Structure 1
């Protein structure tokens, strides 16, 4: 049924796995579309009480957008892509079931934005978190610019976005970006334990709690989404974006300094 993801259910839990370990679970348009469809399936299944989002293998939860796909984008393609992203984040935020991100390895770029859209996150000790957009002439307007400061505070959010540093799982926990850190060999066990804690509670109460928690904050998110999505679409194909992607594919540092002389 799916090419880029895997979907399974067991004892009230739906597990959605980004299944592209050969590229560290980088996401492309098909991946976003399949994630949206799988999230809808979980949302509509009355037997499901919790959704677990994870990545295949032990290298990455998600290493962000597939830069090879991005290299061919132009502004009109970017606008279509932003509508695709909005569909996924909307179903994640609006479904009345908790989503737990189970993170092992790299959780960066749009992978970290998926982490932000999830309700809770459990990560292995060897995980790494961060945003990487400005490294390749892009910007995380899908969700990080809007939501990150709510998790880690305004100053820390600016540091994360402007420097593109990577942070350990413990640093992510300390700043409030995730909920729990555990040894890699205990990750599945800890996530299962958390799922069972939630499943033991009133489904009605959980549904109402999630809707109520999102009601105020998401109004601001949606009101800021549409103008910023147009800004993001406009960067595709411009000189800085092209330079960043070309440098990434050639495995060399991008030369952004030359753009500052203009």
Structure 2
């Protein structure tokens, strides 16, 4: 169902991202969907229970996608969304949570929650407004329209748009460029950029990353060993 997620899917993504975070051989993480028809269509409506919540196999209502969103934001490594096809609803929020988004020409973006009585009152609303502005964010949420890749690029939702056949190659090229830079610098910059809209938690994260840089790397933080960009090492796709 267009790479929709359910409780088990979210649990597996959380574990995969945790594994990538703590693997010293990985410098950049790529989040993508299976196939070329969809990045992610959000929550799987087939597992919504009688009270509207998403049920796991035991019948317990929980999804925990906010935990995964928070994990992307606080991961010290760049997380890149590689988007082909539909990026809708909760899937649209997931790509926004990533640090960069590389989109194929067939990508489609938008929100659908209000059509089925749901919404994302956290980053899905507030961070979207930071990206595209208040008026456009309200349009996206209130009207539930869909936007093609070029429209998404024009409003700042994605970083670049490429032919579908070149999507993986271009994503890897961007990742290898990042791998040439100081991991510690990228780590601290990510925390600093997130602090703008993550409130007190964001400031604490920034302070923690700065402390890590001084305590463990000291004056050599900017010279932290880089992963070799000419190889596929350092890239992790989940």
Q: TM-score, normalised by structure 2?
A: 0.78
Aligned length: 199
The 8 Å contact of residues 63 and 107 in structure 1, kept in 2 or not, is answered as yes
Aligned partner (choices 27, 33, 45) of residue 23 of structure 2: 45
Q: TM-score, normalised by structure 1?
A: 0.72
Q: Distance in 1 between matches of 2:15 and 2:162?
A: 30
In the alignment, which residue of structure 2 is the partner of 1:81?
62
Q: Secondary structure at the match of 1:40?
A: helix
Quick check: 1:209 aligned with 2:189? yes
Quick check: 1:24 aligned with 2:2? yes
More helix as a share of residues: 1
Q: Distance in 2 between matches of 1:72 and 1:112?
A: 25
Q: Any residues of structure 2 matched to 1:128-167 within 5 Å, and which?
A: 128-167=108-147
Unaligned runs of at least 5 residues, structure 1: 1-22, 223-262
Offset from partner CA, 1:106-151 (integer Å, 9 cap, x none):
0000000101110000000011000000111111225311211011
CA RMSD of aligned residues (A): 2.1
The 8 Å contact of residues 97 and 207 in structure 1, kept in 2 or not, is answered as yes
Q: Secondary structure at the match of 2:62?
A: helix
Q: CA, structure 1 residues 129+76, in 2 after alignment: closer, same or farther (shift >3 Å)? A: closer
Range with greater deviation from structure 2 (155-164 or 211-220)? 211-220
Q: Secondary structure at the match of 2:158?
A: coil
In the alignment, which residue of structure 2 is the partner of 1:243?
none
The 8 Å contact of residues 122 and 180 in structure 1, kept in 2 or not, is answered as yes
Quick check: 1:120 aligned with 2:120? no
Give the superposition deviation at 1:178.
Answer: 0.7
Q: Distance in 2 between matches of 1:39 and 1:210?
A: 16
Q: Distance in 1 between matches of 2:201 and 2:90?
A: 16
Aligned partner (choices 156, 172, 178) of residue 198 of structure 1: 178
Structure with more relative contact order (C-alpha pairs < 8 Å, separation 6 or more): 2
Q: Distance in 2 between matches of 1:56 and 1:214?
A: 28
The 8 Å contact of residues 47 and 54 in structure 2, kept in 1 or not, is answered as no
Q: CA, structure 1 residues 76+157, in 2 after alignment: closer, same or farther (shift >3 Å)? A: closer
Unaligned runs of at least 5 residues, structure 2: 203-238
Q: Secondary structure at the match of 2:101?
A: strand
Give the superposition deviation at 1:48.
Answer: 0.8
Give the superposition deviation at 1:215.
Answer: 1.9
Range with greater deviation from structure 2 (136-145 or 168-177)? 136-145
Q: CA, structure 1 residues 43+76, in 2 after alignment: closer, same or farther (shift >3 Å)? A: closer
Q: CA, structure 1 residues 76+107, in 2 after alignment: closer, same or farther (shift >3 Å)? A: closer
Q: Secondary structure at the match of 1:61?
A: strand
